[in-house]
Structure 1
């Protein structure tokens, strides 16, 4: 007969593979308390001294020679030094225990014995008042790895969380020694002291290692039944800060499902260097402000044995339905996911909850509610809870599911990266998949607590979540974005007309003031300027007529919005031009006719140039009808650049136009619609000018940088690239910069974030494309836009 023999050290490998983190190890011990029907559990971190210093002293003492008479003196001096390293806020109970161990150390007859006592000072204790274990249970259950012993009847409401029989291995991860004391009545209390270092032997079999079980007495203050586990010889230093951050914030706060309607309450009490009730470290629930701040809430219920097997509801923050509740039957699902109805029935009943947060909208909502000061705190709170879809079995989270510390089990980010606009990603989501041991026997935990075992049922659940729930949520969000974008575009058009009209009034006022202070010769030039302004007024009037008769086609709206945006820019330049000229005239003597005439001629020329730019956006001309025509692209770009000549001169900006990378005077003709090219190039150049004139940015550059805008026409690929030497764009914003309303400019006055959105939308409508090249410069920033011309 042949049989397996198990090496002792296999247990250590098993524990390190299955218990993947310290918080998971502590949770395994907490689950034992829950399964023992304890009403609560206490986890006490008694860490009065830095563990690394304890380990250093232990190693030092273990190496001391017994033959030396100085070893006791050395240990005594080390203890005095150790006292100076005691942490603050250590309660009296722990101080008494320190004194007890210090006495034992001083009375030790060997340095190694003293080192053993030293390693017991810092410890982690887990206490419960559950049913406890008898000597028989300790031997046959607790000491049997892999046993699945159930204390609960199947009809009991409280779930059984442990089923792998590996929770006890978590003690090995936390420390190299542990004492387990358990009792079902005060008359029979059993205790086992484990030294896990015994399993490090390279020769021993697991059956050759035995730990004695002893009878002990307990305090009259202890409960009538329960279990205490004390872990010593700790493997890490538990500071108060990492207990809070690593254990509580990143793990225990998310242990219970915040989105679950019916909650099974189980208090977990964490203490640090204190056992008093006021020393308990709080485990906070999700903030109600955060809970209420979601823009969308989703609820999917699946029950293969009900009349409506699947029902999906998506609601907006005001409570209204984003879509009509979606319902389907098993037959339809089986066709959709290429499975049979029996496969669906094997999944069992589950529920999927999700909250979606648009972070900019969340911030704006907080400001409107007067909670702007809480914004940073609530964003940090969202960072704790977001990360995807957490899996909860019987109300308790499986491992780190639903966080960025875990795998993206439902491939949310993978799908988001394939979708334009990155609409739905893990950083925006707080989600929960609720399953139970009873209803979902085919959805089993991995032994290492990292997600669920792969099988057909899990694949179908993932498909339901991804291809029904999340797809419909994406569709709902996108529809609302389109509606909002359309409303915002209408506002851009209205603002373009209103602001242009009001700014023209200011320009005319400037001219009137100039006329009053001018001699007859100057008034003749001002009369020509007034003629130019009549054209400007006519352009605004035509624009208002066109915008009041908007057609239903999206491209008409977009192009008018683009026109309105650029008209606003041109009118702003008119105000600056006339304002500066008037100030200069005041400084020029009335008798200095030549100087006055020169200034007024300069003003007339600038207004003529601006009028040329306005003609590029005429919404009612033949070009405004957006018909294709043979166009000299070089001439158009030169015309646009000439409109910025004044700005280029004022801000010392060099504009360079090349064809296939070479400066020349050749023409390049293409059959194209002029309007969208004008909108796109005007926007790109205007943005470049804005960033190139930010003096504080250029003064922060390490090396001298020339302010330059480079435009190159590639006649082979039929593209126009526009780049500048400004601060560039972060790669993380590569797609976001084309989102309506997104801007990195200083204030709303500088831009509302619609220019690039409009330019891209109009360009794509006409068969072209506009995007930011993903080839970064040496500083990691992106600086080149590519305008793809439509295929002829």
Structure 2
């Protein structure tokens, strides 16, 4: 025996699964497109609103109680209710429909007959027709495909067409709209129309019937008037909502205007909507609005020859472009802590995203389009983050006002300035059924099914927008503020010089000007004295402003130090736990002394970094002392040997010249340990990511101590650093690691430590064949 399916299961797949009327209609429109129709038509006929029908049912029940309980005049109540119905009929309905409704009402004699007549006429005269002129369906198609829930007929079609449906349940969305369905369809080769009628009320929760006991059978209909006619008309009756012109216009303005890609500039799939014969316009997006964008962004993801993401930013109003390329290794770093396999990098498939970023405070009127308020209204209407389109058809609900699917607002609210949020972005991400087969709609059409590929898509877009794009905007603004800043001290010195020259000139005038003109010279002197007084006030204001600025800088410095301390505490804690794990359950190994020495150095780092926050802390705690760097590097290296073995990382420590016994420098011991730990931790992280992608990869790390050149070099054969990113990686908060692996402060801190020792940290010249650098150099020549 197999499964038995209860009839009420149909309700779960249709009326109760589809969340909105707009999505239900959209599913039927997509069926028209998949059928090969050149357009879809929604022809809506309404004589009485559904809300009016519900109100009538209440009034009818109240009237029946009056007749039964109080002996009220039934004829009088029938006349009253009939008159109310006539007043509430839609005056825009076809005259024939209005006449038929009134004629049916005129024939009733009692309340029961009135109720039956209203229900019958409502079902007959209120309906939605979804009409297409596609290939149509034969009688066999109706029986074996249309009535097969979950059919895979579209998936196996070999015609080369891109289908936007495919689950085989879209037709069930019709039951959300109404309780009765009538399908009239034919292929060009058919001589008659093929008919199918379904009353969804047979599939109720109260019913214990199974699907196989409910007879739903297609039949041959009337002959075609035109022998070559083809296509399908789906009529939905016994409607469950109001479908008057005003409501349909609201749906067109809020949903139908973005059902098809509005940004590409190509003609969208034609959709004609009529309500009682009156055409409902479907708004279009005017691309002129994009002229007011302050920045534009293009994101391209490819999988061949290997995964790569290109982020192309144009800060239009600042005239600053930037192109970033994320390699497969960069993407592996981003996904290190996510539930995303290496295989998903390819199975995701290529996609693209384009969007424009608006600073709404800077919006202006656009000639030929409208004033500032109209431009602002358009931006407000369309700026809800990224929409999503598959083969030109929208994937709901991405880009709805209440859908922050990329977490843009959450990220913006958690950072300063609320910059780069959904209300500043107009654009879309584009996928296709052919290139992105793993990005599948959920059965309820409320977004993509949760899987690795969707997680990767969200992760890449979120990082590109909320981190890299936002950081670029901030960097440009910071750079421009710096270039336009007036040096107050230099200005005050210049004014002092001018003041002295003016004073000398006035003295000369006294000796040259005749007596009768001395008043003019005295006026100049008085004016000059007043200006000097104002200059003195200005200099005092400058001094106060500089003090305030220093206070602000100090506060900002404290904030950065807090970030640094948090970064180091996290890194050191993880490292310390790793070291402790090596001692669990075993006797102390020979290198135990070295391990404990490294642990002690790590704890000192925590204390020293915390001391930075204490203005009363004695600076002597960070005093430099003679330290044998050879011994220190060996100690740190030995502490990582177990870790290297655990991850299969080949390792080697070399000293030049080989006869070197010591390499002594005046340094803060704990800080140098901090630099070495950061470099090794980074190398191990990226070696592990490359190992994820390539099982045959043999990871390796090498440390060289070059006493003659005063250098410590750390080299690994991981993905390396692109040459064009060699300086960027030393900036604070720049990272391709996932959250939990740091905030992009490690290399920034390490370089600052090197410079505190009058030394430097940099990437060594000599890129590999892919244009990447693999060796960090800690140059200790200045220590």
Alignment TM class, shorter chain as reference: 0.5 to 0.7
Equivalent of residue 225 in structure 1, options 227, 230, 233: 230
Pair 1:333-2:331 in alignment: yes
- Deviation of residue 428 (structure 1)? 0.8
Give 5+ residue unaligned stretches, structure 1. Answer: 498-529, 547-559, 565-615, 629-670, 673-792
Distance 1:308 1:174, change over 3 A: closer
Q: How many residues align?
A: 513
- Picking from 534, 537, 545, the partner of 2:531 is 537
**Which of 131, 135, 143 is the matching residue for 2:135?**
131
CA deviation string 1:21-73 (max 9, x = no partner): 11000001101101110110111222233322233445766997999999898
Q: Which residue of 2 aligns with 1:118?
A: 121
1:395 is the counterpart of 2:392: yes
1:293 CA displacement: 1.7
Q: Which residues of 2 match residues 312-391 of structure 1 at below 5 A?
A: 312-317=311-316, 320-323=319-322, 325-338=323-336, 342-362=343-363, 365-366=364-365, 374-391=371-388
d(CA) in 2 for partners of 1:243, 1:26: 11
Q: Quote the residue 1:258 is aligned against.
A: 262
Q: Which residue of 2 aligns with 1:235?
A: 240
Instruction: Indicate if the aligned counterparts of 1:42 and 1:127 stay in contact, CA closer than 8 A.
Output: yes
Change in 2 beyond 3 A, CA 1:334/1:108:
same
- Distance, in Å, in 1 between the alignment partners of 2:193 and 2:74 is 38
* Pairwise CA distance, 1:129: 0.9
Distance 2:549 2:215 in 1: 92
Question: Contact 2:82–2:105 at 8 Å: present in 1 too?
Answer: no
Compute the displacement of 1:81 (Å): 3.6
Which of 412, 429, 439 does residue 435 from structure 2 map onto? 439
Q: CA deviation at 1:449?
A: 1.4
**CA distance in 1: counterparts of 2:490 and 2:419, whole angstroms:** 28
Change (3 A) 1:206 1:220: same
Whole-angstrom CA distance in 2 between matches of 1:493 and 1:282? 64
* Cα distance, 1:327 vs structure 2: 2.0
Assess, with a 3 A threshold, how the Cα gap between structure 1 residues 106 and 187 changes in structure 2: closer, same or farther.
farther
Q: Which runs of 5 or more residues in structure 2 are unaligned?
A: 494-524, 553-614, 617-783
Residue of structure 1 in register with 2:765 after alignment: none
How far off is 1:193 after superposition?
Answer: 2.3
User: 1:288 Cα deviation (Å)?
Assistant: 2.3
Superposition deviation, residue 451 in structure 1: 1.6
The alpha-carbon deviation at position 424 of structure 1 amounts to: 0.9
Aligned partners of 1:124, 1:31: CA distance in 2, in Å?
16
Q: Is the 8 A contact 1:193 1:211 kept in 2?
A: yes
How many Å separate the matches in 2 of 1:182 and 1:467?
49
1:372 CA displacement: 10
Which runs of structure 2 are paired with 1:91-110 in the superposition (5 Å)? 94-103=94-103
- In the other structure, the counterpart of 1:85 is 88
Contact 1:104 1:117 in 2 (8 A): no
Paired residue secondary structure (1:299)? strand
How far 1:287 sits from its partner (Å)? 1.7
Q: CA deviation at 1:381?
A: 1.7
User: In the superposition, relative to structure 1, how do residues 239 and 317 fare at CA in structure 2: closer, same or farther (>3 Å)?
Assistant: farther
Aligned match of 1:579 = none
Q: Deviations over 1:296-337 (max 9, x none)?
A: 1111111111478322211133695531x2223323322443
Q: Which of 136, 160, 165 is the aligned partner of 2:163? A: 160
Query: Residue in 2 aligned with 1:605?
Result: none
Residue 197, structure 1, aligned to residue 196, structure 2: no
CA contact (8 A) 1:312 1:469 kept: no
Corresponding residue for residue 506 of structure 2? none
Distance 1:69 1:218 in 2: 52
| Equivalent residues in 2 for 1:718-729, closer than 5 Å | none
Distance 1:493 1:113, change over 3 A: farther
Alignment of 1:696-711 (within 5 A): none
2:457 aligned counterpart, secondary structure: helix
Q: Is the CA contact 1:251–1:400 (under 8 Å) kept in the aligned structure 2?
A: no
Name the CA distance, whole Å, in 2 between partners of 1:372 and 1:271: 27
The answer to whether the aligner puts 1:172 opposite 2:185 as a matched pair is: no
How many Å separate the matches in 2 of 1:372 and 1:540?
A: 50
Q: Deviation string for 1:419-472 (max 9, x for gaps)?
A: 211111111112311111111111111111122122222222222212234422
Per-residue deviation, residues 237-285 of structure 1 (Å, max 9, x unmatched): 123222122x212211111223336x463101111221xxxx3222122
What TM-score, normalized by structure 1, do the two folds share? Answer: 0.58
Residue 48 of structure 2 is matched in structure 1 by 49
The answer (yes or no) to whether the contact 1:72–1:106 under 8 Å persists in 2 is no
Decide whether the 8 Å contact of 1:58 with 1:116 is kept in 2: no
**3-state DSSP of counterpart to 2:288:** helix
Q: Which residue is 1:656 aligned to?
A: none
Contact 2:191 2:227 in 1 (8 A): no
Determine helix, strand or coil for the equivalent of 2:282: coil
Partner of 2:273: 270
Change (3 A) 1:195 1:58: farther
- Tell me if the contact between 1:312 and 1:327 (Cα under 8 Å) persists in the aligned partners: yes
Q: Please tell me whether the aligned partners of residues 155 and 166 of structure 2 are also in contact (alpha carbons under 8 angstroms).
A: no
User: Mapping of 1:517-532 within 5 angstroms?
Assistant: none
Deviation string 1:535-564 (CA, Å, 9 cap, x unpaired) is 8733532577x7xxxxxxxxxxxxx9xx47
Q: Which residue of 2 is the match for residue 636 of structure 1?
A: none
Is contact 1:249-1:384 (8 Å) kept?
Answer: no
Between 218-227 and 433-442, the greater mean CA deviation after superposition: 218-227
TM-score, normalization by structure 2: 0.58
Contact kept, 8 Å, 2:411 with 2:466, in 1: the verdict is no
Q: Deviations over 1:690-745 (max 9, x none)?
A: xxxxxxxxxxxxxxxxxxxxxxxxxxxxxxxxxxxxxxxxxxxxxxxxxxxxxxxx
SS, match of residue 217 in structure 1: strand
1:643-685 CA distances to partner (integer Å, 9 max, x unpaired)? Answer: xxxxxxxxxxxxxxxxxxxxxxxxxxxx99xxxxxxxxxxxxx
- In the aligned structure 1, how far is the partner of 2:155 from the partner of 2:306? 35
Change in CA separation of 1:116 and 1:241 when aligned onto 2, cut-off 3 Å: closer
Matched, 1:423 2:445: no
Change in CA separation of 1:24 and 1:416 when aligned onto 2, cut-off 3 Å:
same
- Residue pair 2:441, 2:448 contacting (<8 A) in 1 also: yes
**Aligned equivalents of 1:235 and 1:393: distance in 2?**
30
Aligned residue for 1:553? none
- Give deviations 1:323-378, integer Å, cap 9, x for gaps: 1x22233233224433665331111111111111110012xx33xx5689622222
SS of alignment partner, residue 402 of structure 2: coil
1:192 Cα deviation after fit: 2.2
Q: Which residue of 1 aligns with 2:591?
A: none
CA 1:318–1:347 in 2, change beyond 3 Å: closer, same or farther?
A: same
RMSD of aligned alpha carbons: 4.1
